[in-house]
Amino acid sequence: MSLSHKTVDDMRTFLQPHKHFDPEQRMKFYDSWAATYEQDVEVMNYRAPHLVVDFLNANYSGNREEVQVLDVACGSGLGAKLMFEVGFRNFVGVDGSKGMLEQAEKTGLYQDLRLALLGTEPLPAQPGSFDVVVIIGALRDGFVPVSTVRELCLAAKPGGYVCMSRLDTNCESGNKYKASMESELQLMEDEGLWTHVLSQNISKYMIDVYNGSEDVQNEEYLSGAIYLYRRSS
């Protein structure tokens, strides 16, 4: 049950300025948001963490207690909490926000937490180190660039899995990001870096808090997708 007293319109007002931030400004914004982040995203019906973990849970058959998980753009640790509930135990987190990493540390789930602004700095992960690499919510226009997808693949062990979600924003740049990402995924498969396991479209990723709705009882939702790939041996 959410403890937030904010409304969807409150979140629209809160989030509007951050659309125009550069990466460093955005991370400072997330620093200031970290303490109430999990309560606030419930207001937005941010379903991606639950959907991604359910998707991974249904399609991963490895020994969850032993595998090493790299949680990229881990935020407050919400994804790791959900993965812990289905048996995963060993997590390393990466995020560009110090404030979010402080919240993630409080979960007690991470063996290590690493600060890095993806797209500006390299992913701080030894190549071939992780059984499962997860990124939820950050693959979108203006956030983590498509080029980072290769780094996610390389961080996985041969035979390891990469599970990603992409949020589609209703704008031209968002459409370009989607096309660019899907092109890169296919190119990496053609190059033999990994194999596609399964994908799933998401019709209700989260409430569209970036555009107003005339009917508060029938909020518009943003869509997206979940992907699962296996790194080639």
Average per-residue pLDDT in the chain? 93
pLDDT digits (tens, 9 = 90+) for 164-201: 999 998 787 778 999 999 999 999 999 999 999 999 99
Rounded distance between C-alpha atoms, residue 186 and residue 182, angstroms? 6
Q: Which domains does the chain have, with CATH numbers?
A: 8-231 (3.40.50.150)
Least confident of 106-110, 130-134, 141-145, 173-177: 173-177
State pLDDT tens for residues 21-59: 988 999 999 999 999 999 999 999 999 999 999 999 999
Spatial separation of the C-alpha atoms in residues 115 and 38, rounded to whole Å? 20
pLDDT in tens, 54-95: 999 999 999 999 999 999 999 999 999 999 999 999 999 999
Which of these, 201, 134, 142, 146, lies nearest to 169 by C-alpha position? 142
Name the pTM for this structure.
0.94
Q: What is the pLDDT of residue 55?
A: 98
Handedness of CA 122, 51, 189, 195 (dihedral sign): positive
Residue 3, pLDDT score: 52
